[in-house]
Chains A and B, each alone.
Chain A
């Protein structure tokens, strides 16, 4: 209801329809998941620190790899972006709340159920799923009791994402302030709109794929069984039809965040706003026709391999447009380097490095060497950790004052940034060398020639993990910081900066009048 504040106690969180409360819950949930998934990564890295098996059995190692990825992808990165969308989109477009607030609550509260089920598999006979986050059959069919739980938790994640995405689309298309026409929307809103379409298009396909796994296992279908006329590779096609757009689901909102932050700290409008929109749409479109670049070694016909190679390489072009536009934004600006800007800049640098290795991976003959080696692991951690995760940190620092009404501790923020940046490179850069030298991924132990770089990566990972504790410190001490002004930064653009800090429980009871809107966009 528009005219009173939040409920008291636990009911506020269980029953809420408020986009800010739900956004907060999403963000906290994803942070918790980041720590759980990260702890699993540390188990991986600790085991890999030295050659020889020191701490865990190979089965458990594979469970860690699988759970780490599932939790990070579906539990940390995606919900974090949905949390940001919940908090910021209504404020950025002058809406009172999300369009379908009760469903919004449900999309969130499905997640703890999904991940509760997934995490509980760790304690089941046969252990957690251990076939990689890609769940390839026939191996995945050897999972123990965890198998149906895995399938259904994936279904739940899908349902949650689809409902979240529908909500975001409807909010953006139906709840905008009257004079905010589409091409005037802030980049973050734009990238999320496109992301939401990707989500609705591919999450159901994933649901279909895992449903086929379920029926192959329990009801005797032959989708992935050659003797019955199916094909194990068919699963990979369906999975990656979902999987490749999925990786852009994890990066497009990050592009949006960075496109908000760089102009603010360059004190200059975003360069080429419209071409940014077209580039993002282009990336989204292309993402549907490149999936088989994950499958260059499965024995596809030559023509298929060539097609997927060309299509994949093309994605570098619109992505390049984004990078160049950010540099164009900084060019002849008046730059300052607060923590959000630092994270955004590191994003541009390090994501580009990840993108470069992506283009190398797209070249089929070379990929035949890279595939399923640590080179791939290096590639995707570069785009995901200093990519998606850094953009999330940037967003958190950028909007924390708006959320809490207090400035965070800048010194701690900078320390968090520098340590993270140093350690993230120490962790993931050597993995390129490991992969090129021939170390396969998903192995618990390795030949002694790989020892040195693995040792570095493990040291880096522990350092990176510890550095994240600073972020927690920043969050916990934020309330003690100086009071934030409404605009917070010197020259931010957008409606969210026209409301008080902290943003009131209900932001816009009535549509913001034209004057306000114009001030914010022009």
Chain B
């Protein structure tokens, strides 16, 4: 059997990865055929999602079981932590691509279309009369007139919600270390509730944008960057909140000790990451 006492731990074989790959196959083929216009694709995609969800439940379940069974040692714990850290880093880089697009559009392509730098003729011959500005849906006014969301109102409330949730998760963490399970579960519950409220409010915001402001994904570069950035962020909040919820269930079941609680910490880190991205969004998308 595996030896928890020695320094190295090597896990059992597992069929979950290959299940995951099959799920990905169905998911990707499904989405693609769906996008190409075949309705069947949707169902293939949903099948893929189902397989992947099953895989995640099974895989994480196995890991949680092993962890609870005391098979892991400090080194495994550290491997998990480092793994999570670098995973989050890769997510940061994914967002960087979209922030990059935003900065490029605002500082390069829009002014150039307006004739700045070496683009005098671009403006004169192709987009005569277009003046660079932000927000904009470009010289072709793609998507028609629109209004922006503005930094106050819902976005500000959402900022407050996310910042608060970062505090509550930290309180929960301290409580976990101090062994105060009651506080832990209360504040953890508060955190994911705040997360879900955030997602709900964002949905309200999107509906408002689409119905009242004519601000859409198709509203030129402004709409593109606005919805892609906030949309991917919202997706991450949703995932994060679901993970917090699962962690909460585990807390209720009595998992985690003050010494060993990688699962909790991983999700907490993830939550902080989501929070930091939001601050960036708030500043660069809504405010400036």
Contacts and interface: CB of A to CB of B under 8 A. Distances in A.
B136 A229 contact: yes
Contacts of A203: 90, 93
A110 B21 CA distance: 5
Interface string B115-145: 0011000000011000000001111101100
Candidate in A112, A174, A230, A510 with the most chain B CB atoms within 10 angstroms? A230
A164 B12 CA distance: 19
Interface stretch (A208-216, A432-440, A475-483): A208-216
Contact of A222 (B8, B78, B100, B224): B224
A117 B83 contact: no
Nearest to A16: B13
B218 interface: yes
A222 B97 contact: no
B228 A215 contact: yes
B20 interface: yes
Interface in B46-84: 59, 75, 78-80, 82-83
A470 interface: no
Interface in A486-508: 506, 508
Contacts of B32: 117, 148-149, 152
**On chain B, which size bracket covers the interface?**
35 or more
A116 interface: yes
Interface stretch (B102-110, B149-157, B172-180, B263-271): B102-110
Candidate in B17, B112, B220, B228 with the most chain A CB atoms within 10 angstroms? B17
B79 A2 contact: no
A149 B41 CA distance: 12
Contact of B86 (A170, A212, A225, A226): A170
A378 to B, nearest CB: 31
Interface string B2-41: 1100111011111111101110110011011001100000
A221 B12 contact: no
Contact of B93 (A156, A167, A173, A204): A204
Contacts of A95: 8
A34 B59 CA distance: 33
B284 interface: no
A238 interface: yes
Contacts of B18: 14-15, 105, 109
Given A1-B1, A215-B224, A221-B217, A17 B83 contact: no
Contacts of A138: none
B28 A238 contact: no
A167 B17 CA distance: 15
B195 interface: no
Contacts of B228: 211-212, 215, 221
B15 A231 contact: no
Contacts of B91: 204
Contact of A145 (B31, B36, B113, B227): B36
B248 interface: no
B105 A230 contact: yes
Given A229-B113, A230-B105, A231-B105, A238 B16 contact: no
Contact of B109 (A14, A207, A221, A226): A226
Given A230-B138, A506-B10, A212 B17 contact: no
Contact of B220 (A14, A166, A200, A229): A229
B2 A205 contact: no
Given A7-B13, A152-B32, A221 B223 contact: yes
A112 B228 CA distance: 30
A201 B93 contact: yes
B94 interface: yes
B252 interface: no
A123 interface: no
A237 interface: yes
A112 B22 CA distance: 10
B249 interface: no
Contacts of B112: 231
A230 B17 contact: no
Given A14-B18, A148-B35, A153-B28, A228 B83 contact: no
Nearest to A7: B13
B221 interface: yes
B35 to A, nearest CB: 5
Given A105-B17, A222-B221, A207 B94 contact: yes
A215 B10 CA distance: 42
A12 to B, nearest CB: 8
Interface in A93-107: 95-97, 99-103, 105-106
A229 B139 contact: yes
Contact of B12 (A1, A11, A212, A230): A1
Given A7-B13, A212-B228, A156 B24 contact: yes
A200 B138 contact: no
What 4 pairs across the A-B complex have the smallest Cβ distances?
A208-B97, A227-B140, A229-B138, A229-B221
Given A148-B35, A222-B142, A230-B109, 15 more contacts: A99-B82, A113-B28, A156-B28, A162-B90, A166-B90, A203-B90, A207-B97, A212-B101, A220-B218, A222-B223, A223-B105, A228-B220, A230-B224, A231-B112, A510-B6
29 contacts: A17-B13, A97-B8, A99-B79, A100-B80, A103-B83, A106-B20, A117-B25, A117-B32, A166-B83, A170-B79, A173-B82, A174-B79, A175-B79, A200-B93, A204-B90, A204-B96, A212-B101, A225-B140, A225-B142, A226-B127, A226-B139, A227-B138, A228-B138, A228-B221, A229-B138, A233-B109, A234-B104, A506-B10, A508-B8
